[in-house]
Amino acid sequence: MVDGRDGKKANVDPKLLELLACPLTKGPLTWDPERNELISRVARLAYPVRDGIPIMLPSEARSLPFEDGLPPRLGGPS
């Protein structure tokens, strides 16, 4: 998967990753370089990174299926 107009994969600065948190759960995020996404395991959401910029809007995030091996969401209906 490529990111943006230059055809290169995005790379997230490790220091930026330490500072970012899921806007819904305030929990940590992990970087998925294959899909250029920041993953919130608790919220089961994948936030896209476009042109090297994390898009931290829940409305832009992709829901993660239960088959991906992540633990289920905490609270609420499943």
Q: Evaluate if residue 76 carries a pLDDT over 50.
A: no
As a whole number, mean pLDDT of residues 3-14 equals: 62
Q: Evaluate if residue 72 carries a pLDDT over 70.
A: no
Helix (H) or strand (E) holding 17: helix 14-19
Which has the higher per-residue pLDDT, 77 or 69? 69
Confidence of residue 12 (pLDDT cuts 50, 70, 90): confident
Model confidence over 13-70: pLDDT tens digits? Answer: 888 889 999 999 999 999 999 999 999 999 999 999 998 899 999 999 999 987 655 5
Please count the residues of the chain.
Answer: 78
Cα gap 24→53, rounded to integer Å: 18
Neighbour-count burial of 36, counting CB atoms closer than 10 A to its CB (0-12 exposed, 13-18 middle, 19+ buried): buried
The answer to whether 29 touches 40, Cβ cutoff 8 Å, is yes
- Report all structural domains of the chain as residue ranges with CATH numbers, in order of start: 33-64 (2.20.25.10)
